[in-house]
Chain A
Amino acid sequence: MNWFLRGVFGGIRTTRYPKKPETTPGTTPGFPVRAEHADAQQRSLTLVCPTSALVESGDAVDVRDDRCVHCMRCAPGVAPSPLTWRYDPQWAHATRGTIEDAALGGTFRRSMHVRVVDAGDCGACLSEILHLNDPLYNMHRLGIFITPTPRQADVLLVVGPVTEQMRLPLLEAYEAMPEPKRVLAIGACAASGGVFGPSFTSAGGVADVLPVDLVVPGCPPPPLAIIDALLALAGSRAR
């Protein structure tokens, strides 16, 4: 009873996102942005980048989102001439067509069930997914639920580079899901293998194993970016 009352009198602490932007410091590590007219020092960042996420194209420095592992070597405060970093939560991108094409839409807007599969995650992405349940984010208010069985899941959320020993369980989970279904790859490892893959024991991301619909890069992507991607899959992301 005590606990119940404490819960009730704790008040509402939940973020207003996506209706209003969330600006509390520390909710996101940010993400590097393509520099159109890069200076020499910025161009030299491509040599520093450990996963070749930064590539030169003409006089621009392009960012290959999927490969960025947040080593921070091109971030403000670290690099002498850093890239611009953005701090909005819209990190997701589709693998085929536009994000809107990946949406389930229809009744899924109000109720979408997600099965999380850990395919070799380091714990950071899983921790961020766990925080979707946090009263500060509370994904349930958006009609997104985590389900323990893929049989009732609409979205397969995969984290980690897909290790050799998780490949079959992951495939089984995917096959157990009813149609229509979507696969969401969360984090740099799931997007491209990150620092681990492809290797003798890891695939180069989920796309090597399953047809991926939506990718959220980042190491790890913050809860808001994951919520944004889930809303995009449900078909109810604010435009």
Chain B
Amino acid sequence: MTVGDGGRDGDGRPVLLFAHGFGCDQNMWRLVAPAFAQDHRVVLFDYVGAGGSDLTAWDPGRYATLEGYATDVLEICAELGLRDVVFVGHSVSAMIGVLAAAREPSRFAALVMVGPSPRYIDDEGYVGGFGAEDIDELLDSLDSNYLGWSAATAPAIMGNPDRPELGAELTNSFCRTDPRIARHFARLTFTADNRDDLPRVGLPTLVLQCREDVIAPVAVGEYVHRAVPGSALVVLDATGHCPHLSAPEPTTAAIRDFLAATFASRA
């Protein structure tokens, strides 16, 4: 993992931990996270396999389920000594946040779920929006596009001091992910079923939903809202799966409002 920490131990400001979803890296938060840097301790990171993470840290056993990623989140919290964390998770990371909070509830103060889906594949009495064959098609798409993945840049991700030009190339590229790890993460993400974990969330929770999102449709956002006790649902007038990119101001405003309401009522 690569972790960026905009604060120090015990500097007193509330902590916002931003977790990117499948497909990209912490760059996803560049239009939203800076808006909170003034009055929050903002922590960003890349999961193993994404962005600037150390690919040698990849272990198929550890990451066989989303729990492995939740462990990463908890290790970041422990390493940085984070308390009362507001966890902002996009897409699959919303569920990773749910798992992490279930294991160490005392670490967390609130959850913000951006475009969450507890299950992508349709089930009896549940519409996730996808069939199992759609997920295979996505994996094929990944394979087709990673033909352009250059093995030459992989060492740069692992830090190759002998070839600084690779590092320069990397800083200019966003959302680089290792193909094999991405494939694994995709399968994990889109075949997971975390519906049973939602009712156990005991934290103030905000569900941020786009008006039109093919990956996590409104019906799914509403399902999450109903399943997480006491959660708030905000439907943003935005299209796509990444409101933090396509509608950063409304996204930031919704998170701010939620934080203000949550922590005002606590005080």
Our verdict on whether A and B bind, yes or no, reads no
A positions within 8 Å CB-CB of B: none
B positions within 8 Å CB-CB of A: none
